[in-house]
Amino acid sequence: MLIAFSVAPSGSSAENPAGSVHDAVAAAVKVVRESGLSHRTTSMFTEIEGPDWDTVMGVVKRAVDAVAPFGSRVSLVLKADIRPGYSGELDAKLERLEAAIEESDAG
């Protein structure tokens, strides 16, 4: 199972009166890294791959909880690829894409 998500605080809080986002995002990414799951963070999303719904969504929930102190509310954007029986897709999907591009360039 693959999840791409973005989590960020909005509004201010006592702990974060300026409404800063980078510290909150860093807290969320730290949760993902500590999870032990395969992951990738880009400028817009963090992708996680795990064996099942409960495992992956547990990491997302902990990431949301880590962001909560940084604002009066939390925004979560999530996209999931639920494909039982597959693993290693975090990289395999990109490898298939690159192979298809090379094939189309060669033809």
* Domain of residue 11, CATH code: 3.30.70.930
**pLDDT value of residue 17:** 65
pLDDT digits (tens), the chain, 107 positions: 999 999 999 876 666 666 568 899 999 999 999 999 999 999 999 999 999 999 999 999 999 999 999 888 999 999 999 998 999 999 999 999 999 999 999 87
**pLDDT value of residue 45:** 97
**Residue numbers of the domain that contains 53:** 2-106
Read off the tokens for 47. 């992708």
C-alpha span between 73 and 13 (Å, rounded): 9
Determine contact, residues 76/6, Cβ cutoff 8 Å: yes
Read off the tokens for 90. 């975090």
Task: Calculate the CA 44 to chain-centre distance.
Answer: 9
**pLDDT value of residue 10:** 86
Tell how strand 2-10 and strand 46-49 pair up: antiparallel
C-alpha span between 39 and 31 (Å, rounded): 11
Total number of domains in the chain: 1
